[in-house]
Amino acid sequence: MAGIDDLTKKWEGYKETFTNTSGSITAIYTCDWDKRVGARSDLLATYNSDYTYLVCNQVDIEALGDAASGGGPETAKLTVTFVDQVIGAIEHVQNVPSDWMESWAGGGEAITIGEGFHWYGTTKKIKGEDISAVKIFPTASISITGVTDKITTAAKGKILGCIGKINSVAFSIKNKTYPVGELLFLSGDLQEGLDSLGNSIHTLTYNWAYRSDITWNEFWNPTKSPAGFQAISDSNNDGVYESISFSNLVPSNW
């Protein structure tokens, strides 16, 4: 076995990558095939000679294709990756939803509201046998996406428990506060991954539907005077959509 001293550095394929939050270097080395294991062991967890805060966390080995006289490969190519020893441990984790990336999409609902209106300029009311009146009610789809390292089985249950519910108290998304009943939680999209050191992280996207004119538990009532939207409930006085606090969507509550 041998180590770093047996490596020959190749500048073809060398690459330095830096952002505002992390850095990495990819370097290429060669050595005798039978010395590759020792070289790999010596490289892992070592610091880069030019950037002492970058540490080796990965070594990829492949045969260059030349054959040894005794059979098998003669030369090994080692692709070595150095990453930020601090940020690399848990990369870009955002456990505070106000730090997540926000996305909006506009939309609307076509709601048939038949009776309760009258024909413009007359006193004649629209009745059930008449052609229905349709109004487009503006809506918005609001999404935020972030990366967290706090996902557990209990956290998954809390997120899933919010799907199909509306906010029972005012709720803030990216510092914008939405009044009671205006947000319907549609889904929590979850994608599991690993950071560069093998730690478990998850990319999480929350999706809400927002109504601007009415709440999600209000429906058109042509019988009230004047006709208009009104909240409806069942015999237990529960709304069509259950109202809950969205505090379970916040990682600090997991």
Domain boundaries, given as residue ranges, for the chain = 4-88, 97-253
Of the candidates 66, 65, 61, the one whose C-alpha atom is nearest the C-alpha of residue 77 is: 61
Distance separating alpha carbons of residues 149 and 193, to the nearest angstrom: 10
The CA-atom distances, in angstroms, between 144 and each of 73, 131, 166 are 50, 41, 17
Q: How many residues belong to the chain?
A: 254
Per-residue pLDDT at 89: 47
pLDDT grade for 85, boundaries at 50, 70 and 90: low
pTM value is 0.63
Give the class (CATH, top level) of 4-88.
alpha beta
Q: 55 - beta bridge partners? A: 47, 83
At 105, which amino acid appears? Answer: A
Residue range 36-52: average pLDDT? 90
Q: Could you say which DSSP state residue 155 is in?
A: H
Distance separating alpha carbons of residues 110 and 139, to the nearest angstrom: 11
pLDDT tens figures, 97-134: 998 999 999 888 888 877 788 888 998 888 777 777 78
Cβ proximity of 85 and 53 under 8 Å = yes
Angle at 116 between CA 110 and CA 120, to 5 degrees: 85
Q: What percent of the chain has pLDDT over 70?
A: 93
Per-residue pLDDT at 1: 42
Per-residue pLDDT at 245: 96
The pair of structure tokens assigned to 62 is 């492949």
48: number of Cβ within 10 Å: 19
Helix (H/G/I), strand (E/B), else coil: 205: strand
Cβ proximity of 147 and 200 under 8 Å = no
Distance separating alpha carbons of residues 158 and 247, to the nearest angstrom: 9
Cβ proximity of 181 and 166 under 8 Å = yes
DSSP string over 111-141: EE--BTBB-TTSSPBP-TTSPPPEEEEEEEE
The pair of structure tokens assigned to 14 is 């060398």
pLDDT tens figures, 10-24: 999 999 998 766 789
